[in-house]
Amino acid sequence: MEKGGEASKWRFGAANPALEAAGRQSIRSIVSGLFDSLDKSDPRPVAPLGHGDPSAFACFRTAPAAEDAIAAAALSGKHNCYSRAAGVEEARSAVAAHLSRELPYEVTAGDVVITAGCNHAIEIMMAVLAAPGANVLLPRPGYPMYESRAALCGLEFRHFDLLPDKGWEVDLDGVEALADENTVAMVIVNPNNPCGCVYSYHHLAKIAETARKLGILVISDEVYDHCAFGSNPFVPMGVFGEIAPVVTMGGISKRWMVIQSVIDYTTGELPYADG
Ligand SMILES: Cc1ncc(COP(=O)(O)O)c(C=O)c1O
């Protein structure tokens, strides 16, 4: 029974097709559904093969220096305020200095946007690219947050394959065949989730040359930077930033195991609003 007279006709709750399309890209609900359907009385251990969270394993711990710095910053009372939309200056400068160590040019604080996790950087990038009619090229297999965020922004996405027989390299012929005059960017994940490969210098150079030929941006998700265990050392895509424009998305959630603080970054020519 409604209080205060007649029942209102509530105006919210209508289906949102973009939200439903975004939800269909998620594998989390499938994984959660699988885990929920396990027989809890079965004593056999279950190996979760889809773990992107290092904190699940006792051997991976956040460095005490990082924990102390977070606690000191919270207790200082100096940071309980709004910052610039692109992040606090010290953090942007620190990220710029950190990235510049491995690049043939210098990244400045002005090139860096601090985000609340790499997922937030993906969300921003897909929104920035979602001009009417634009499309973005995404890897298959891939990290489904890209599809989900693109769907939510109404940005068309097309899939290029990663080639299992070639160490999961990008099918660059496929990229060229997929692209058209509305293609604005391609995404690579390096080191790769879910395939685990690390792209060689030579392959990254070929990706940059393909992007240049097509006139598109390379978005390089490097949230697993330096988590490289094979024979290929990790090379940042930014090394090829003079061949094609590169936006690098990285973070501290994986390599540095600072997960709940979700402070990540994105660098490159990313337009952002301040305020
Ligand atoms: C390829 C890839 N990009 C981005 C993310 C999200 O990173 P964050 O936890 O910093 O939001 C993940 C997390 O699993 C990932 O695997």
- SS3 labels along 30-87: HHHHHHHCCCCCCCCCCCCCCCCCHHHCCCCCCCHHHHHHHHHHHHHCCCCCCCCCCC
* pLDDT on residue 259: 61
- 35-67 confidence digits (pLDDT tens): 899 999 999 988 877 676 777 778 888 888 888
- The CATH class, in words, for 64-267 is alpha beta
Rg of the chain over all Cα atoms, to the nearest angstrom: 21
Average per-residue pLDDT for the chain: 88
pLDDT reading at 1 higher than 70:
no
- What spacing in Å lies between the alpha carbon of 145 and ligand 1's midpoint? 8
Contact 222 CB / ligand 1 (< 6 Å): no
Domain boundary assignment for the chain: 64-267
Q: Measure the CA dihedral 160/134/249/259, to 10°.
A: -90
pTM: predicted TM-score of the whole model, two decimal places:
0.87
The pLDDT of 129-147, averaged and rounded, is 96
Ligand 1 pocket test: which of 49, 188, 253 has the largest number of ligand atoms within 8 Å of its C-beta?
253
Contact 193 CB / ligand 1 (< 6 Å): yes
Contact indicator for 131, 184 with CB cutoff of 8 Å = yes
- 150-173 confidence digits (pLDDT tens): 999 999 999 999 999 999 999 999
Question: Of residues 7 and 34, which shows the higher confidence score?
Answer: 34
Atom of ligand 1 nearest to the CA of 251: 10
* pLDDT on residue 272: 39
pLDDT reading at 145 higher than 90:
yes
Q: pLDDT band at residue 70, thresholds of 50, 70 and 90?
A: confident
In sequence order, which residues have a C-beta less than 8 Å from that of residue 228 and are 6 or more positions away?
Answer: 191, 198, 234
pLDDT reading at 271 higher than 70:
no
Dihedral sign (CA 218, 262, 102, 104) = positive
- What spacing in Å lies between the alpha carbon of 200 and ligand 1's midpoint? 21
Contact 223 CB / ligand 1 (< 6 Å): yes
Contact 147 CB / ligand 1 (< 6 Å): no
Atom of ligand 1 nearest to the CA of 189: 1
**What is the separation, in whole angstroms, between the first and last Cα of the chain?**
44
Site of tokens 């150079």: 205
Contact 221 CB / ligand 1 (< 6 Å): yes
Atom of ligand 1 nearest to the CA of 259: 9
Selection from 98-107, 207-216, 241-250 with the highest mean pLDDT: 207-216
